[in-house]
Structure 1
Amino acid sequence: MGFKEQIDYSRLPKHIAIIMDGNGRWAKGQGKVRIFGHEQGVLSVKDIVEGCVEAGIEYLTLYAFSTENWNRPKEEVDALMQILISTINRETETLNKNNIKLNAIGNIASLPQECIDDLNEAMAKTAHNVKCTLTLALSYSSKWEILEATKKIAAAVKDESLSIDDIDETLFSSKLTTVNLPDPELMIRTSGEHRISNYLLWQMAYTEFYFTDVLWPDFRRENLFEAIVDFQKRERRFGKISEQLN
């Protein structure tokens, strides 16, 4: 019996976040340059997005490019931007066919203008879709996001449009780029690394982590279904004890 057949569809995680790691190591293992790994990683993105729709996952967020990734060699960054542009242009029609809404979070203004234009166009074309929301974290850093939210709140307090007493978790969350997304219940990281790399730090306070040694270009929907099955075996207590849940 495959992992898909083991899934309890009444207990699906509503939101899955993924750190897509291992493209460079996969390419090196194939005797290829790093960019080849990133290109192959796009195939995994397509299969995992389709797998989420197949399983009934409502929200999927992919860590596509961090603010730290700008420090990589220029030729790799330029190639990543071109892969992003070509993928968005090529897959927008497929997103519509699968009723998937495209979304983006991060410091989008720091991306090349062509990326921004194509991203905005794709988001506009898919805005009516409701089956699944695919969010790309681009030029994203959780520390950057938290600092930006803090600045917004500080400015509102300074101009007296907000009282300090009104600041709570709900208000702070409303200032984050993920304001329209539920917090992820499951975070998957590929390639065997056990860290979250400045990703959704505020949002993942109670997220279940799933780490796999599979490199991202080899990660497919059966691996996704395995992660969901593993998630469903866990007891999520949110600070309570087992007896309170039962």
Structure 2
Amino acid sequence: MTREDRSTPAYRERNSTADRALEILGMFTEDRQVITGTDVVDQLQVVKSTAYRYIQSLQSYGLIEEAPARSGFRLGPRVFELARIARQGLGLSEVAEPVLRALAGDLRETVLLTRRSGTQVICVERYESPTPIRLSYERGQVLPVNAGASALVSLAWAPEKELERVLAEAQLTPLTKRSTADAEQLRKRLGSIRDQGYVVTRGEVDEFVVGVAAPITGANGSVIAGATVVGLEQRLSDERLPDVVERVRAAAENVSRRLRELAS
């Protein structure tokens, strides 16, 4: 089979038909959920028979269907199926981006999206603080599994067998004097984190840096990532922390809800 010559009239006609079909689909809006054949004639500036040929083609693919009482045409079931597939194709980063970027702007602090891979925690995305002071957390950076809010929130909800495997295989090295390097102490701490639903750390990865993290759950309810605010201790004071905790938890739940909606 030879490739069709794009200069042929047959190719141009099919290409033109596709353009017109997409233009018809683009006529639907939130305020215009039903269109008529006359609407299509006016939009495309074609004769009625041509307009209905395009309409029938879209109907045959289930992209539009006749509206009740023959009042016109509305989007068909195939559009909703395609929308569902498109939503499921969105990844964690795409879903979390608007929520966590807004959180960084509201709090004026750096926000991280992290997830655990085995015995390591990866910084998936970083949403920068608008303040002039910058922190040394970068996208793709590998973080220790036993220190810092991002790591602990990713590990706290791990299944028991997985947690034991991680604790046995990971190098629990203290990065600062505030890091937890003892496996038994770490188990107890993770239990406390699960009970309260979030974690606050001080100076465990970098001196004078506070982290506040909350878990992000996937469609099946298991924790798949963490949302973390990181900032200098002088900015994340004890007086400010309760508000920061509530905002981080709300943002993590917002992302979790969006992920559940995409899977439904």
Query: Same fold judged by TM-score > 0.5?
Result: no
Relative contact order higher in (CA < 8 Å, ≥ 6 apart): 1
Please give the TM-score of this superposition, normalised by the length of structure 2: 0.27
Q: Who wins on radius of gyration, i.e. which is larger?
A: 2
